[in-house]
Structure 1
Amino acid sequence: MKLSVSVTNYSWPEGIQQRLTDLAAFLDDTAVDTLWVADHLVQADPSCRTDEPMLEAYTVLGYLAAATRRLRLGTMVTAATFRAPALLVKAVTTLDVLSNGRAWLGIGAGYNTAEATAMGLFLPGTAERFERMSELLRLADQMWRGDHTAFLGEYLTAQQPIGSPRPVTAPHPPVLIGGTGERRTLRLVAQYGDACNLFDIPDGGAAIRRQLEVLDRHCADVGRRAEEIERTVTPALQDGERADALAERCRALADSGIQHVVVIARGRPLTSADLNCVAAAADWLES
């Protein structure tokens, strides 16, 4: 079981830069696997105001790459239509090169119409979003393989998609696809993903087990070994949660088939107490 942290809120009263730097340095010396960041231009947590501080994700990840030596780094997750596809692939590749092989590509179809409207971002209808995400993932694979031949999709055309330099991670940075749609999202995971990210629904793990069964069937359909795909979930830390309680929650999720837990703080920024809790739980899960 891996345990990771995702930063979704930058509203630290003592200041963003110092708190983020301290957070990264602390986690880099623990058993925590990955430091994720939300990829939004406005605060997307419905329990917060939309005008609370939110930093641009890939700038943050570049900063974190320089501030850490071990933690893996990625977005949880990037909406597929919010950036030009080749630019996103280049950003992830750059992060992988500068972090010496610690980058993820975290991707989803996108959902936040309020953010798109507020900030002038492109968010087409659902069917088109999934087709565009599929084309983006195929383009990423082509660029990471060093194939410069023209990419001609329904929505995306790239006449000479040059991916130089190649990623440090071989064969490429792992691709995490967020979402639980059983027909389209989990099919794309089976086709292109190295990890899925599911929702933490308080139903005793029933939804997770069902979704993982659906993923296994998609893997069989496309000729993929299901065990190649890392199964992740993103629960919220409880206020005042103890490390032993968090470790026990992780073990219960493991019983449902989860291999990697990514914790967030809902409605507030992460605190020192949160980080101490996660660090101790990660140690227990590793032992």
Structure 2
Amino acid sequence: MDVGLHLANFTWSGGPHRLVDDLRTTAKLAEDVGFRKLSVMDHVWQIGPVGPREHEMLEAYTTLGYLAAVTERIELLAWVTAAVYREPGLLAKEVTTLDVLSRGRAWLGIGAAWNEEECQGLGLPFPPTAERFERLEETVQICLQMWSDSEEPYDGTHYQLGRTLNSPQAVQRPHPPILIGGGGEKKTLRLVAQYAQACNLFDDPSLEHKLDVLRGHCEDVGRDYDDIAKTVMLPIDPGQHGEHVDAVLAHLQDLAALGVSHVHSRVGDGSDPSWLELFGERIIPEAARF
């Protein structure tokens, strides 16, 4: 099992004037201590589970471009891109650009979007649920076409592209891996089975059931269930002095027994690197054994 780091909070104790320095330090140290993936949210306002909406929030793909410049090995993605916030052709170019500039470390993390409040606030599109999922599927199809050898037009229900030219192409072939986030049993997990290299689920009592649902969708579409990486987002608190590490590792081992191969945890205070060092010393090496 590998471990990833999620930057969901940019309101750190060092204050806004130190944000860029602390962000660089956090990213480089995360890479050095062995985190496999580094992600940011695709939100324009802070979300309720993390903090007040007025707290600092950086735009996802601008931030990922910066993170590509200050790291060398760690994989980079938005966890997860809101499909309706960008036109699909532009999104494919953004992820391709990230892949080129990071020398092949980009993922496309994507979902149907959910935060209506920030959309209303900044004038972003937020169609009804069924349409958002239709647009999500068309967006993935367009990205895959732009990462292929085809420059043919794309004529969908919601999107029409006259020529799917994408130059330069992504470094990773056949394309940057795709992670589809969400646990919706009828739509989201079907899309995972059909298109994705990874899913993302939450660490809750429904996890085993969700994985069984995904297995069923894989059987329906003729996909090998084992080809899909199972990732879980969960808060990991090792304790200030590592007092919770044993309990954390026991839980990660339980997740590994279900087939989870990657756990993704939120960042702490980016102005204090000590907690990252604790992960690197006591959690990441042990999780790699599971």
Counterparts of 2:38 and 2:267, CA distance in 1: 13
In structure 2, the residue matched to 1:218 is: 217
Q: Are 2:236 and 1:260 equivalent residues in the alignment?
A: no
Are residues 177 and 199 of structure 1, via their aligned partners in 2, closer, same or farther at CA, if it must alter by over 3 Å?
same
**Matches for 1:1-287 after TM superposition, within 5 Å:** 1-14=1-14, 15-201=18-204, 203=205, 207-238=206-237, 240=239, 242=242, 243-265=245-267, 271-280=272-281, 281-287=283-289
Are residues 270 and 87 of structure 1, via their aligned partners in 2, closer, same or farther at CA, if it must alter by over 3 Å?
farther
Q: CA deviation at 1:118?
A: 1.3
Runs ≥4 residues deviating over 3 A: 268-271
Gapped regions of structure 2 (runs ≥ 5): none
Q: Deviations over 1:34-87 (max 9, x none)?
A: 111111101013351101000011111111111011100001101100111111
Counterparts of 2:217 and 2:147, CA distance in 1: 24
The DSSP-based 3-state class of the residue aligned with 1:97 is helix
> What amino acid does structure 2 have at the position aligned with 1:221?
D
Are residues 90 and 146 of structure 1, via their aligned partners in 2, closer, same or farther at CA, if it must alter by over 3 Å?
same
Q: CA deviation at 1:283?
A: 1.5
Q: Deviations over 1:209-231 (max 9, x none)?
A: 11111101101111111111000
Are residues 190 and 162 of structure 1, via their aligned partners in 2, closer, same or farther at CA, if it must alter by over 3 Å?
same
> What amino acid does structure 1 have at the position aligned with 2:7?
V
- Residues paired across the two proteins, number: 282
Please say if residues 8 and 269 of structure 1, whose CA atoms lie closer than 8 Å, have aligned partners that are also in contact: no
Gapped regions of structure 1 (runs ≥ 5): none
Q: CA deviation at 1:272?
A: 2.3
- % identical equivalent positions: 42
Counterparts of 1:180 and 1:174, CA distance in 2: 19
Q: RMSD of the alignment, in Å?
A: 1.6
Q: CA deviation at 1:169?
A: 0.7
State the TM-score, normalized to the length of structure 1.
0.94
Please say if residues 27 and 67 of structure 2, whose CA atoms lie closer than 8 Å, have aligned partners that are also in contact: yes
Counterparts of 1:6 and 1:233, CA distance in 2: 12
The DSSP-based 3-state class of the residue aligned with 1:29 is helix
Please say if residues 45 and 57 of structure 2, whose CA atoms lie closer than 8 Å, have aligned partners that are also in contact: yes
Please say if residues 246 and 278 of structure 1, whose CA atoms lie closer than 8 Å, have aligned partners that are also in contact: no
